[in-house]
Amino acid sequence: MSRILHILSQLPSKTGSGIFLDNMLEQGHLANHEQGLVLGLPQSFSYELPEYITCFSPVYFETESLPFKIPGMSDVMPYDSTKFSELSVENWTAYTEAFEKAITYAIEQFKPDVILSNHLWVATAVAVKIAHSQGHYRPKVYSVTHGTDLRQMILAPYLKGFIIENCLHLDGIFCLHAGQFSLIQNLYTLPAKRLSLIGNGYNAHVFHRYKRELKETLHIIYAGKLSFSKGVLELIDAVNALNEKLTLRQSPTVTVPSPSQVLLHIAGKGSGAEGGAILHAVANSPYTDCLGFLKQQALAEVFYASDLFVLPSYYEGLPLVVLEALATGLPIVVTDLPGLKSWLDGPINESGYMTYVPLPELEGIDQCKKAARESFIKDLTAALESSIEKIITQSYTADFPYASIEEQAWENVFKLIAFEMGL
């Protein structure tokens, strides 16, 4: 049995990295490792600490020492947050000192064999700095990049020097896909042997095989944050346009089978002006509703009741929600995100259940250019229409590559990480 200290500088369960943490903790417990946890939390947030965690060192925000909302690795989070790019010098100093104190306490009290920190960002850099100051006792420090940390290098460049200076000394970095591998290797000038490809995972006990029947109304599900970078506004417009086309098809002279209506269900939360704008668009579409944030089991139930999963994001690390949807047998429409197609290479891509939409021309790193918006909506509408035709003609009878998907269960991801950390 080894001692693993996990670090996440933001809330668990709410984002991809939070779900990653939840499952690493669970798999570590099943493998009989002793585990500690450093976590960033709003003071008002009620966190149910797993009973098997033997050392907990939280960093609380909206307090006297940290009087601002918790910074998120994305600029739009599914809860109230602060942008790293907007932190003042005083706030940045207080943030760093708070994590230094929490991580120092955890290392001294817990004496971990290894530290597994999420994101190549501030908390990880702090963990490396502290670990290397321990003298004769030095725990190994590993980090998982989730993609958003690489984006923050651009959005908050004033932190770049501190991050690189310390993260250069990580014992290993786990990358989600080959694109990240190359980017990190170049950014940090690290030898390839210190980087490992792990992909992403899903909970096979929650998301599992499900047989669907054709219905007159088809249900599309989107799951993720309510932010412009996720392409949600364009998806709502595409579903509206698709329903207009379906209405025209109901002519008695048209014999091509088609549903009478397509409904879009949005599972997720947003914050600020972007979240508000998306909720306004939902309220003005007769074909769309918002389900709010759903825990994993509730999301799985929505997947079982749906016919098609759509993720029109302009930027992602490696979206685990695609795997979760695939695990339930849902066809997928997704933008051609860097690394995704190569990660799902082989039977999954060849199955016909994956439809990739070309990314539009972007402004910055994750916003659709206004001039490219209408063209992207047309492409997205066409992809939805094509996928629906497949659903109708194949009636869910095509061979589905469950075996390839099940290889990505969290159990296997954890085994790979544990092996690379020498556990």
Does residue 255 carry a pLDDT above 70? no
**What tens digit of pLDDT does each residue of 188-205 get?**
888 889 999 998 899 999
> Is-contact 3 116, C-beta < 8 A?
no
Per-residue pLDDT, averaged over 346-360, amounts to 89
pLDDT at residue 352 in the model: 83
Does residue 212 carry a pLDDT above 70? yes
pLDDT at residue 396 in the model: 67
pLDDT at residue 62 in the model: 97
Per-residue pLDDT, averaged over 378-392, amounts to 91
- pTM of the predicted structure, to 2 decimals: 0.87
Q: pLDDT tier at 82 (50, 70, 90 boundaries)?
A: very high
| Range of weakest confidence among 55-59, 123-127, 346-350, 359-363 | 346-350
* End-to-end Cα distance, the chain: 8
Q: Tokens 């954890």 correspond to what residue?
A: 414
Per-residue pLDDT, averaged over 306-331, amounts to 92
Does residue 100 carry a pLDDT above 70? yes
Structural Rg of the chain based on CA atoms: 22
Give 362's strand partners: 368
If you average pLDDT over every residue of the chain, what do you get? 91
Maximum mean pLDDT: which of 33-47, 137-151, 236-250 = 33-47
Counting residues of the chain whose pLDDT is more than 90, the rounded percentage is 67
| Range of weakest confidence among 16-30, 103-117, 261-275 | 261-275
Q: Tokens 């190569």 correspond to what residue?
A: 342
Picking from 165, 100, 148, 109, the residue whose alpha carbon sits closest to that of residue 127 is 100
| Range of weakest confidence among 101-115, 260-274, 293-307 | 260-274
Per-residue pLDDT, averaged over 102-128, amounts to 97
Give 311's strand partners: 334
